[in-house]
């Protein structure tokens, strides 16, 4: 292939472009987190069986182009593997990080709710048989936090109920799972991730986290009303 590229200006240009693209991908890939959807697709692709028969050998400029493209594919695969190794040795993500990531994914069209209803008597029983707890679903319409619905999401490998409320043009997700130990009710713990406010607390044998892009005072108002009405 090197001999052909040395004598073919067209293939030499294409090869140079492919090498440049491969280098940019290799230099820039580790600056971004791979979306969960992409990681899942890569895992599925790696599980596919090898082809039963090898393709017939090619000759001429077409062969050179395809070999060059194959080289690019190898470079991309190598970059992905390097990225996976970097991720593997990186510090483990916290529960709050995963909750915020779940909230952001839910904002994509069609992901917000599995059951859409403003009636708590429709949303609360919908979780029966889908998760291992019955989450609180208080009615907060009167103070400006209307119920929108609920969904089941996956956080750190387990199915958790998520109750969804609105606040003007904003959305508030409330995640719930059984508390790891009997800690009783606790004060609110506030934090922020990527522009989203998060409030975590324990109440009624549950661990709960509320996440939203509403400002912190409004989210604290919501959580206090949620606790009082649950």
Domain CATH number, residue 101 = 3.30.200.100
Write out pLDDT tens, residues 138-157: 999 999 999 999 999 988 88
Domain boundary among 89, 106, 123: 89
- Which of 45, 64, 89 terminates a domain? The answer is 89
Q: Are residues 183 and 79 in the same domain?
A: no
pTM score, whole prediction: 0.59
- State the helix-helix crossing angle for 9-28 and 61-89, rounded to 10 degrees: 10
Of 89, 113, 131, at which residue does a domain stop? 89
Q: Is residue 102 within 8 Å of residue 36, measured between CB atoms?
A: no
| Whole-number pLDDT of residue 15 | 86
**pLDDT score recorded for residue 86:** 45
The tokens for 41 are 């697709």
- Quote the pLDDT of residue 65: 64
Are 189 and 154 within 8 A, CB to CB? no
Residues in the chain: 230
The domain tally of the chain equals 2
**Residue 218's pLDDT is what?**
96
Mean pLDDT of 12-17: 86
Task: Give the C-alpha separation, 173 to 210, whole Å.
Answer: 6
Q: pLDDT per residue over 157-206, tens digit each?
A: 889 999 999 999 899 999 999 987 766 677 889 999 888 999 999 988 89
Chain segment 20-74, per-residue pLDDT in tens: 888 877 776 656 566 666 766 676 677 666 555 555 555 566 655 666 666 666 6
What dihedral angle (degrees, nearest 10) is formed by the CA atoms of 214, 215, 216, 219?
A: -30
Residues 99, 207: one domain? yes
Taking the C-alpha atoms of residue 162 and residue 138, their distance in angstroms, rounded to an integer, is 13
Do 85 and 130 sit in the same domain of this protein?
no
> Can you give the pLDDT at residue 79?
58
Does 28 share its domain with 63? yes
> Do both 105 and 172 map to the same domain?
yes
Looking at the structure, tell me whether residues 22 and 118 fall in a common domain: no
Question: Does one domain contain both 31 and 142?
Answer: no
- Cα-Cα-Cα-Cα dihedral sign, residues 110, 113, 117, 122: positive
Rounded mean pLDDT of the chain? 81
- Both 103 and 85 in one domain: the answer is no
Q: How many whole angstroms from its chain centre is CA 162?
A: 15
Residues 121, 55 share a domain: no
Q: According to the model, what pLDDT value does residue 183 have?
A: 62
Looking at the fold, whether 115 and 212 belong to one and the same domain comes out as yes
Pair 124, 73 in one domain: no
Q: Are residues 85 and 100 in the same domain?
A: no
Cα(162)–Cα(209) distance, integer angstroms:
10
Q: Which domain, by its residues, includes 184?
A: 95-229
């Amino acid at each position: 292939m090197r001999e052909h590229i040395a004598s073919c200006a067209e293939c030499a240009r294409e090869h140079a472009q492919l090498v440049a693209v491969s280098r940019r991908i290799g230099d820039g890939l580790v600056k971004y987190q791979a979306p969960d959807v992409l990681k899942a697709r890569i895992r599925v692709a790696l599980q596919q069986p090898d082809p039963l028969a090898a393709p017939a050998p090619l000759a001429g400029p077409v062969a050179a182009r395809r070999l060059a493209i194959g080289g690019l594919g190898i470079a991309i695969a190598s970059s992905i593997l390097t990225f996976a190794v970097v991720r593997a040795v990186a510090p483990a993500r916290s529960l709050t990080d995963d909750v915020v990531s779940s909230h952001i994914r839910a904002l994509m069209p069609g992901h917000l709710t599995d059951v859409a209803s403003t009636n708590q008597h429709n949303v609360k029983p919908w979780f029966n048989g889908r998760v291992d707890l019955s989450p609180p679903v208080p009615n907060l319409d009167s103070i400006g936090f209307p119920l929108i619905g609920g969904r089941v999401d996956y956080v750190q490998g387990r199915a958790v109920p998520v109750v969804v409320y609105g606040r003007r043009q904003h959305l508030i997700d409330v995640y719930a799972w059984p508390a790891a130990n009997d800690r009783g009710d606790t004060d609110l713990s506030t934090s922020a991730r990527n522009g989203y406010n998060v409030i975590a607390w324990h109440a009624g044998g549950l661990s709960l986290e509320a996440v939203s892009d509403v400002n912190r005072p409004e989210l604290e108002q919501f959580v206090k009303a949620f606790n009082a009405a649950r």
